Structures are given as C-alpha cells and as structure tokens.
Amino acid sequence: MPYEQLKLSTEKPVLSWAGHPLASQEIQMAKNVSSLPFVFKHVALMPDVHLGRGALVGSVVATKDAVIPAAVGVDIGCGMAAVKTPFHAKQLDGKLKKIRKDIEAAIPVGFNQNKIADRDASNWQGWQDFKNLHSGVSDLKGKAMRQLGSLGGGNHFIELCLDSEEQVWMMLHSGSRNIGNVLAQCHISTAKDLAKMTQTYLPDPDLAYFVAGTPKFEAYWHDLQWAQNYARYNRDVMMVRFKRIVEKHLAGGKPTKPLLEVNCHHNYAEKEVHFGEEVYLTRKGAVRAQEEDYGIIPGSMGAKSFIVKGKGNLASYCSCSHGAGRKMSRTKAKKQFSLDDLLEQTQGVECRKDKGILDEIPGAYKSIDEVMNQQLDLVEIVATLKQVVCVKG
C-alpha cells in the first residue's frame, strides 16, 4: 500500500505506512520528531509503528549533522538472523523437543550468560577497541565477553521454522545485550545533560541530541558502531551453536552448507545517501530494504514470519517494518490473557507453555498479514515461514 501523509502542522512531513489512524500519543511523538530543526526531508513510519522512547518504534528518521541516542534506542544493533538449511520437514519427526532442549542448554536466555567466554567470543576483533569505549563500561568487558552468544529476554527468540516448501530454516532475534544497553544509557544521559546546560528547547527530553563534529557526537558514534558490530557478531555466535544442534539431529553431526544467510539490524543508525545527500539514517524498529537487500520480518511466536527482498522505495528511505509490532503493553497482555489462551495460540509449536511468557502471547501483537499487506511497495516476499520450535528469553 502507498503511504499516507499525516495531517500535522510541522515543518517536515510525516509519511505513514500504518494503514490506520494513529493514537493521540503516537501522533504527538511523530510531531515531536518531525519538528526538530535538523530532521531531513520527512519522517517515515512503518506498518508496525507503535509507542517508543522519544521516537516511535517503527520510525525511520534522517537527520543532517545530528543524531538522537534515544531514537536509536537502548538495544543498539538489535536485529535478526536467518539461515535456510538443506533439511526438510520429514527429518524433524520426533525430534522437536530434543532440539528445543539442546538449544536451551547451549544458548543462555534471559539474564543468563555463558559461564566462560568460548573461543568465538574471546577472539572477536572488537575487543581490540574496547578500551576506547565510554568509561561507564570499563569494568564490563568480562560480562560482555560472557554474554556474546546469549539471547537476552523480552521479545528475543530462537526459532526453527518451515517454509511453504517444507524446507527447514533457523531464525533468531537478539541485540547487544547489557553492554549495548549501558553504552546507550550513558550517552542518552550525557545528551540530556547537554541539553539542560545549553538550555536547548526540546519537545521531549528523550529527543536530546549530539551535533556532528563535536567530541560528544564522535564518542557516541564510535560506541554506537562498536555496539552494532557486537550485536551482529552475537547473532553469528548463536547461529553457529544453533546450526551445530540442528546438524546433530538431522545430519548426524556432519557440517552442511547454508542455502541462504541473512543478518540484519533493526535498531541502529548509519551514514547513508538519500535524495542525493549524505544523512545520518536512524531506523528504530525498521529494516533496511534497499533494492535486492534481504531482510527478516517476524510475526509473533504463533504466527508466520517472512524473508523479504527490498524494493528500494525512496519515500521510506529504503526501509520496511521489523515485525508485527505490539498492539498492547506487556502489563495489559498479562491481565487480558490466560495460560489457556497461550496454549491455544501456540498450538503446534514446541515451546514453553507457562505464564512466564504470557506477555509474548500472539494476541498481544498486530496481525503480521495486515502489516505485510501495508508494505507491498517496500518489499517482496521471498519465503513465508512458520515456526515449529520457539525458545524465548
């Protein structure tokens, strides 16, 4: 579906692919961002847009000579990875529970971490630059090393899926763990302090920013890129472990060659060229969808997910949604749904069936089919996946 330009009294337009009217708080958040003087051309809202911190989750913001740490978010580099395997559904018969148990044993979830950093984690080249990160994380190197190869909590997950051809896929969702969170909080706090000190007017304190060319901007940009690289490598380490487990059960432990591999951020910022100008492009809950880019758009733990290829839509800054998007808060979901609801909505999925994941129940999320229908001009669907195993944080 084409976008709708919201009727807002702001200098920069807001283009929305949501396909429905935004709530009053969402409209105000969109206005706040689009009113900032350094915002470039327009703000783009993806089909899964919903409330966030400072900026809406599902928003794409191009800026000139400034960047907003809270708009990037605290899970820097959060994103998805997926691998298409040479295996088929029939090979999974009777093995799903064993695969889930092996995943849970090999990959720490929630607040857990590896007891010791393995070789893949210890040898990551990013450690060479750790000493140059914000002083607020100077004592976190050991923890960061042990958390490489761990999932985290919330909406992070590991799934074994089948596509419409009954081909087996591996998919996971995670970010930069505690180290990314602490780095983000340090810089968000610095930006807010700077705004107070300089008496800079902001429609929302969480829109405090750094100006390009200043030492504080350079420090944040350096740490941001480091955390994004950490997040991507974290997904790589988990996928290596995940692949070994699948090969153990389906190939007798023999290594196999992936048929397709995708690894993409959806909470991050990069320098990009749009409409002929270099900008700082922040995707807060959005995936890069330049022409021929592969991306991943997951549904909830009981719904379909999609491997997509970008169409390079310029109006969206070559972006697409990062998932279905929540339609209710975690607190509301826990109040509204019961364990029986969870059992019903996750039928056919080998996963935990307890109240500890009630806030992640499929009913708390928007319809992924509706979200996909709203972005036919942004991406084409390469594969439609349905999970058969799901491990939550």
Q: Is 325 annotated as a binding residue?
A: yes
Q: Which amino acid is at 295?
A: G
Q: Is 324 annotated as a binding residue?
A: yes
| Look-up of token digits 């200098």 | 11
**Residue 32 contacts residue 345 (beta carbons within 8 Å):** no
Q: Is 52 annotated as a binding residue?
A: no
Q: Is 159 annotated as a binding residue?
A: yes
- Indicate the SS3 state at residue 381: strand
Q: Which amino acid is at 189?
A: S
Q: Is 18 annotated as a binding residue?
A: no
Q: Is 328 annotated as a binding residue?
A: no
Q: Is 392 annotated as a binding residue?
A: yes
CA distances (Å), origin 166, targets 262, 305, 388: 19, 14, 11
Q: Is 132 annotated as a binding residue?
A: no
Q: Is 306 annotated as a binding residue?
A: no
Q: Is 75 annotated as a binding residue?
A: yes
CA–CA separation, 322 and 58 (whole Å) = 7
**Residue 60 contacts residue 247 (beta carbons within 8 Å):** no
Q: Is 170 annotated as a binding residue?
A: no
Q: Is 322 annotated as a binding residue?
A: yes
What string of DSSP letters covers 65-98?
Answer: SEE-HHHH-SSTT-EEEEEEEEEEGGGGTTTHHH
CB atoms within 10 A of CB 123: 9
Q: Is 366 annotated as a binding residue?
A: no
CA distances (Å), origin 122, targets 103, 118, 178: 21, 6, 17
Spatial neighbors of 100 by CB under 8 A, at least 6 apart, are 350, 351, 389, 391
**Residue 47 contacts residue 369 (beta carbons within 8 Å):** no
CA–CA separation, 383 and 220 (whole Å) = 37
| Look-up of token digits 């922040």 | 282
Active site residues: 322
CA–CA separation, 329 and 134 (whole Å) = 32
Q: Is 155 annotated as a binding residue?
A: yes
Q: Quick one: which of 147, 145, 151 has its CA closest to 122?
A: 145
Q: Is 363 annotated as a binding residue?
A: no
CA–CA separation, 18 and 2 (whole Å) = 10
Q: Is 156 annotated as a binding residue?
A: yes
Handedness of CA 265, 269, 275, 277 (dihedral sign): negative
Binding-site residues from annotation for Mn(2+)? 75, 156, 173, 266
Binding-site residues from annotation for GMP? 155-159, 266-267, 298-301, 305, 322-325, 392
Binding-site residues from annotation? 75, 155-159, 173, 266-267, 298-301, 305, 322-325, 392
